[in-house]
Structures are given as C-alpha cells and as structure tokens.
C-alpha cells in the first residue's frame, strides 16, 4: 500500500467512525432528552478535546476529541457526583427502569436505523451488478456433484432471489454459515430451470480466514473470452526485452494457439524462468519473439510475470446482456433495506455464535487497521460503495453493542432486565465485578483483532 492510499484510508476511517459514533451517541442523547434527562456532555472521540462548544438551555457541552475510536454521552447522575435538588428529577438514576432501558437501547437502534436509511437510498438509486452466470465448475466440488454446469444462471439460493453476483455471493455466505445443504435454482443455456442441491456439510467454513467460499463450492463467475491484445508494455520488464509492442495480438506460445486473454495470462503465470517462443500478429503479419517470464512470488506461490497490460474489450452485446441493475421505488427500496439490515444483523450474530463455540476461527476478527483499509478502498470506488460500507459497519456496531457484556450497552440492558424481574437494581458490587470482566473481554478481543490486522499487513 503506497503512502497516498494510507492517507486516504486514514481519512476515510476517521470520517466513517466519526459518522457512525455520532449517530450512535445521538441516539442516546435524543432519547435521554425526550425522557427528561439532563445531558451534560456529548463527545465524539476520547481524550483531549480538539473543539468544544456549549449550547442549549442546559448548557450541554459538545466535544470533538482527539482519539476517534468511540464517544460518549454524559448525563446527570447522582452516582457520579452531587446533583442540585432542583435537578434531581432530571437525573438518569432517578428515572424508572423502562426509561433507562430506552435511553441505553437507543444507541444501537440508531445504528440500525442509519443502515436502513443508507440501504434505502442505495436501492432507490440502484445497484449495478453482473448477472450471476456460472463459469468453470470445480472438480471435485459440491457444485459439480450437484450437477451445476458452465453458463448456468443462478436464479435463487434457498428461495432468495439473486439478480446479481453481489447478492449471490452474500446469500451463499449467509446460507452456508449454519446449513448443510444449499439449494440453487438455476437456468441452463437451454432455458430449462432446475434445482441443484449442494451438500456443504463436509466444508470447514469460517475455520480459516483465507478460505475461498466460491472456490470451495466449486463456483466461479463466467467471463466472456476476451481477445489477447496488448494495451501497454511496461518498460524494463520481460515483455519489453522480448520486443513485444502495444496492439500486438497474441497468436501462440510454443506452437499452442492462444484463444483468449485468460489463456494468455495462465500460460505466462505457469512458466516462470522458462524460455518461450511467442508468435504475435502485428500489422497483419506474424512476428516470432523469444520471451522469458520473470519469477515472482506472492504468499508462497511462484508465478511468471512479464510486465504488460492487456486490452479488456468486452463486446457491447455481451456487456448489455450481463449487466443488471437492482432498483426499487420508495416502498420497495424500504422493504429491501429492512430485509438487508435484518439479514446482515442475523449473519453477524451467527458468526459471533460460531466464534464462541469454536466453530469459527478468531482469525476472522478484524480491527481498526482492516476497517480503515476497506474504508479507503470503498471511498475510492464511489459514494454508493462507501455508503454501503458505512451501513455494514453500523450494523456490526449495533449488534456488538447489544451483546450482554458489561461496559457495553447490552450489559446495561441485561442489568435492567434483571431489575425488571426482581424489582430492584443489581448491587454496585455486581456492576463493578461485571465491568472488570467486560473490560477484560473487550481488551482480549481487541488485542486479537489488532494482532490479526498486523499479521495481514506483513503477509
């Protein structure tokens, strides 16, 4: 990752966390005010204040602090200091348990509301995608055993419509977490529609961070054959040394005719440090060249590299046939957003459950470095992608904050549920012990997540 990408990722991360923390804390703030609680401070970030302002009848202090990894809303509370007699009825601890429950639950709920609003906007504008047409089917694989064929189009997965590869991939991940069989409804080239049942009970999904779900299932995206034409030759590389030029069309390698750009790439990658006889078509005539791909290595895998960029030109009729747009009117967009938010929330819970029982590897945990990286990538792609990224992180924050872990919102809500049942608050000692346990759990999880981030950086 170059310095510009790092700066872009850091800025995108700060924007993302700033937006999501503000939304979360505003939920607490807004409901607290509605419930008659006096708010003393609304802080985005921790540590030394960078900007402060007091406003409103209560002189609430609004703060932006230097550490952008969270925030808080400080409310009037007798447990944290003396409260003037005139303000006693506005203290948080004086409110009944239902009001306190609503105030604490509002933070995560606003995260879910933000996700719904974001997805609604995305579905109103429309999501451009590619029709889920299957390419080469892996052998052996669950897809091959089920009878899935090249150029089959996935119509639905376990009853969920999949108009694009984006939705198909997410649905495959979602449905594979806790199911032994995935049912694809596919349409073949003969227009016949059939069910294909993929037995995935033997796959160890989520046990390894590096697992390729599509590859494990034996599925791949179909790509049309693109002519093997050179767009650019990188100076100083093996291609330049051989005399290869832009606009050359690859005809053969070692007398084997090259039928597509993918075939050409595969041949080069399979021949590091091997002498090849390359024939190209140049200005209507055949030209013979000698080419020796350089050897490169990535994650322990060696491959050939020559330093060229291929011309990617997909015929317009194929492009039109493969492009799809998932777009809805206002009501349809809202319904789709509600469905997506629910499914993402449930998937997050299922994966967390797998982590707890040991059926998923802790290598799947990600920390701030990975989040920053993907924030930068999504922001560079476009506003829709960044908004979708924000929605995913917002849902994750909402779900995590509802877990019954002391120091999180969910821990407080759990205490309030106990209070509703027994008729009195839990003891201060119970809360103190719970806070220590919760802090230890959070520090442990954060340490693992940051360790995973650092390992990904050096791999």
344 contacts 392 by C-beta, under 8 angstroms? yes
Give Cβ neighbours of residue 395 (< 8 Å, ≥ 6 apart): 111, 112, 115, 341, 344, 345, 348
Instruction: Find the DSSP H helices in 208-259.
Output: 213-217, 238-242
Report how far residue 362's alpha carbon sits from residue 445's, in angstroms, rounded to the nearest whole number.
9
Angle between helices 97-125 and 383-401 (to 10 degrees): 160
- The candidate with the shortest Cα–Cα distance to 343, out of 386, 384, 387, 395, is 395
414 contacts 408 by C-beta, under 8 angstroms? no
Report how far residue 374's alpha carbon sits from residue 385's, in angstroms, rounded to the nearest whole number.
10
Q: Does the active-site annotation cover 25?
A: yes
143 contacts 218 by C-beta, under 8 angstroms? yes
Q: Which of 25, 174, 175, 216 is catalytic?
A: 25
- The candidate with the shortest Cα–Cα distance to 31, out of 84, 108, 85, 89, is 108
Which H helix or E strand runs over 422?
Answer: helix 409-422
In the sheet that holds 276-282, the strands lie side by side as: 256-257, 249-253, 276-282, 285-291
Question: Which residues are annotated as catalytic?
Answer: 25
């Amino acid at each position: 990752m170059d310095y510009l990408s790092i700066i872009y990722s850091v800025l995108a991360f700060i924007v993302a966390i700033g937006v999501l923390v503000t939304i979360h804390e505003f939920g607490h703030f807004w409901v607290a005010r509605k419930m008659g609680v006096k708010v003393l401070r609304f802080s985005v970030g921790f540590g030394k204040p960078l900007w402060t302002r007091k406003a409103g009848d209560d002189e609430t202090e609004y703060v932006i602090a230097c550490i952008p990894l969270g925030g808080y809303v400080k409310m009037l509370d007798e447990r944290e200091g003396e409260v003037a007699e005139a303000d006693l009825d506005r203290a948080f601890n004086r409110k009944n348990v239902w009001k306190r429950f609503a105030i604490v639950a509002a933070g995560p709920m606003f995260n879910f509301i933000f996700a719904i609003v974001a997805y609604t906007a995305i579905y109103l504008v429309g999501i451009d995608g590619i029709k889920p047409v299957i390419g080469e089917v892996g052998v052996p694989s669950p897809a091959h055993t089920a009878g899935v064929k090249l150029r089959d189009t996935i119509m639905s997965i376990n009853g969920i419509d999949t108009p694009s590869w984006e939705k198909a991939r997410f649905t495959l991940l979602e449905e594979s977490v806790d199911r032994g069989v995935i049912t694809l409804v596919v349409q073949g080239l003969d227009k016949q529609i059939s069910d294909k049942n993929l037995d995935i009970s033997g796959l160890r999904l989520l046990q390894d961070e590096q697992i390729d779900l599509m590859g494990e299932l034996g599925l791949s995206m179909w790509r049309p054959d693109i002519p093997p034409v050179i767009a650019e030759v990188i100076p100083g590389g093996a291609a330049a040394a051989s005399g290869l030029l832009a606009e050359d069309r690859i005809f053969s390698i070692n007398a084997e005719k090259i039928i597509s750009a993918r075939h050409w790439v595969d041949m080069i990658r399979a021949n590091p440090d091997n002498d090849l006889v390359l024939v190209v078509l140049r200005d209507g005539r055949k030209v013979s060249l000698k080419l020796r791909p350089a050897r490169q290595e990535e994650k322990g895998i060696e491959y050939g590299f020559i330093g060229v960029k291929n011309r990617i030109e997909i015929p317009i009729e194929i492009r039109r046939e493969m492009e799809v747009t998932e777009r809805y009117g206002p009501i349809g967009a809202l319904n789709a957003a509600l469905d997506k938010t629910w499914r993402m929330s449930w998937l997050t819970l299922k994966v967390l459950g797998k982590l707890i029982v040991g059926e998923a590897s802790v290598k799947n945990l990600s920390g701030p470095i990975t989040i920053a990286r993907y924030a930068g990538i999504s922001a560079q792609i476009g506003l829709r992608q960044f908004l979708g990224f924000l929605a995913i992180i917002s849902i994750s924050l909402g779900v995590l904050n509802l877990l019954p872990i002391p120091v999180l919102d969910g821990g407080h809500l759990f205490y309030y549920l106990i209070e509703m049942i027994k008729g009195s608050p839990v003891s201060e000692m119970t809360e103190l012990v719970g806070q220590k346990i919760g802090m230890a759990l959070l520090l442990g999880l954060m340490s693992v997540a940051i360790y995973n981030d650092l390992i990904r950086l050096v791999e």
